[in-house]
Amino acid sequence: MENNKGFSRDFCLVVAGQIISLFGNAVMRFALPLHLLDVTGSAAALGIVSGLAFLPLAVMAPLGGIIADRINKRNIMVFLDFFTCGLVLLFLAAYGKISLVGLILVTLFLLYGISGAYQPSVQASVPLLVDREKIMPANAAINMVSSLSGMLGPALGGIAYAKWGILPVMAAAAVCFFLSAVMEIFIRIPFARKRRRRSLLRETIEDMRGGIRYITKEKPEIGKLTICCAGVNMVLSALLIIGLPVVVMQVLNFTENTASKMYGFLQGILAVGGLAGGMAAGICSKKLKLQSSWKILLGCAGLLIPMGAAVCLSGMPYGAYGMIAAAGMGIMAASSLYVIQIMSYIQMTVPDEMIGKVIAWMIAVSTCAQPLGQVVYGLLFEWLKEMVYIIFGTAAVVSAGIAYYAKQFSPRHS
């Protein structure tokens, strides 16, 4: 490992590749569920398909972490971006020839599975490319890239989807993945090849056990942080993913064409919040303490209350939309700050040879909770169409409980 590490050419290439790749990813994750909702008109179908689609991410994340610790991380990024480009081209070729629900489900399955294998490589590369004191600003930069892509992808995707439909949007995403893969070919990440002493299957099982042992026995505070992340994903993230498109598309009294655009703009507004949280983490990195992070979760719980109140103003759709957008932007800013703190803590305290596995297990466990939340919310929004404020109020109470749990432990280093 190089001693003189900073915001080098290679780290900048990682960031640039992330901008392009995540833009395409944001466009797809916006367009496919929205198209499904448009075609079927069913919130339950949206919740079930979106929830099931997250399962491959939970399965692939542990394997992705093991791969990230054993294979050149650059090669993983390049291969997966080319593979995703091919996946989108297959979607375009199959569209209209097979069941739309099945096609979207399979595409999202593969998309999230790829993401599960991809993200541990990106996160594990950070401490190899920057100095220790720059880890939190580096994570803030990557988080801001994610937010910027999340802002531009859905906003532009919403406009393009409303004007041209799903196929041109997917074609644009394919171009993004291809360009990102080409750019990532030129990244140089330090890598020391490990000699295999046992069979691949046995080494894989041992690596998976080692990751679990580390977060439960050697560093149990990481296991507790994982439980908090799982709770946030199940209660808060799932609500935003399922609830916001249902509210904007079906509860507020927008026309169909206007609703698509407004939901796209809302996704962009939420991404602005994530961008603001990333900027705050980068600027205030030396002042942030993980021991106080539970207050961030409590703030997120409080912001769900005005969201619930807004859905009662369906007669004033733009006023309700403004309240939802403002609260959602605050939630995204706070949650970005929380995620950056946790990721930086892991990267600064976990040995280099374990980072991929630890991050992967954290992603896997927290991701497993999200499909359950999405399926439940899909059914609740189907059953409580006239009283959706109850859903937001209950989620606020449960989120406050998660914040209280997070307050009960304080990692030794922050």
Q: What is the pTM of this model?
A: 0.68
Q: What is the DSSP string of 357-371?
A: HHHHHHHHHHHHHHH
**Which whole-number Å values give the CA distances from 147 to 18, 140, 153, 300, in the listed order?**
11, 10, 10, 17
Q: Could you give the C-alpha distances from 40 to 33, 46, 243, 386, in angstroms and in order?
A: 10, 9, 16, 20
Task: Give per-residue pLDDT as tens, 131-172.
Answer: 777 777 887 777 777 767 766 776 777 778 777 888 888 898
- The pLDDT assigned to 116 comes to 72
Weakest-pLDDT range from 32-46, 201-215, 269-283, 309-323 = 201-215
Q: Which of 131-145, 327-341, 396-410 has the lowest mean pLDDT?
A: 131-145
Q: What is the pLDDT of residues 104-127, one digit of tens each?
A: 888 888 887 887 777 777 877 887
CA distance 274 to 142: 11
- pLDDT confidence bin for 303, thresholds 50/70/90: very high
Distances (CA, A) of 39 to 29, 32, 95, 387: 16, 11, 14, 24
- The predicted-structure confidence for 232-257, as pLDDT tens digits, reads as follows 888 988 898 888 988 888 888 887 77
* Cα–Cα distance measured from residue 309 to residue 348, given in angstroms and rounded to the nearest whole number: 41
Q: How confident is the model at residue 300 (pLDDT cuts 50, 70, 90)?
A: very high
**DSSP states of 140-200:** HHHHHHHHHHHHHHHHHHHHHHHHH-HHHHHHHHHHHHHHHHHHHTT------PPPP-S-H
CB neighbours of residue 165 within 10 Å: 13
**CA distance between the termini of the chain:** 24
CA distance 409 to 53: 33
How confident is the model over 361-365, as a mean pLDDT?
Answer: 76
pLDDT single digits (tens) 85-94: 999 999 999 9
Instruction: Please tell me the predicted confidence (pLDDT) of residue 249.
Output: 84
Tokens of 184: 């990532």
* Span 9-183+200-407 CATH architecture: Up-down Bundle (1.20)
Q: What is the pLDDT of residues 190-221, one digit of tens each?
A: 776 666 566 555 666 676 777 778 888 888 88
Report pLDDT for 327.
94
3-state secondary structure of 100: helix
What gap in Å lies between CA 343 and CA 329, rounded to an integer?
21
Helix 100-129 vs helix 43-53: angle between axes, to the nearest 10 degrees? Answer: 40
Residues 167, 168, 173, 179, Cα dihedral to 10°: 130
Report which of residues 351 and 296 the model is more confident about: 296
Task: Report the distance separating Cα 83 and Cα 319, nearest Å.
Answer: 43
Query: What does the block give as tokens for 331?
Result: 């939630």
pLDDT on residue 399: 93
Rg, C-alpha atoms of the chain: 21
> Maximum CA pair distance of the chain?
68
Interatomic CA distance for residues 356 and 347, integer angstroms: 10
Banded model confidence at residue 351, pLDDT cuts 50, 70, 90:
confident
Q: Determine the pLDDT at residue 203.
A: 65
User: For residue 138, how many other CB atoms are within 10 A of its CB?
Assistant: 27
Nearest to 38 by CA among 254, 257, 253: 257
List, for residues 174-195, the tens digit of each pLDDT value.
Answer: 998 999 999 888 888 877 666 6
What rounded mean pLDDT belongs to the chain? Answer: 80
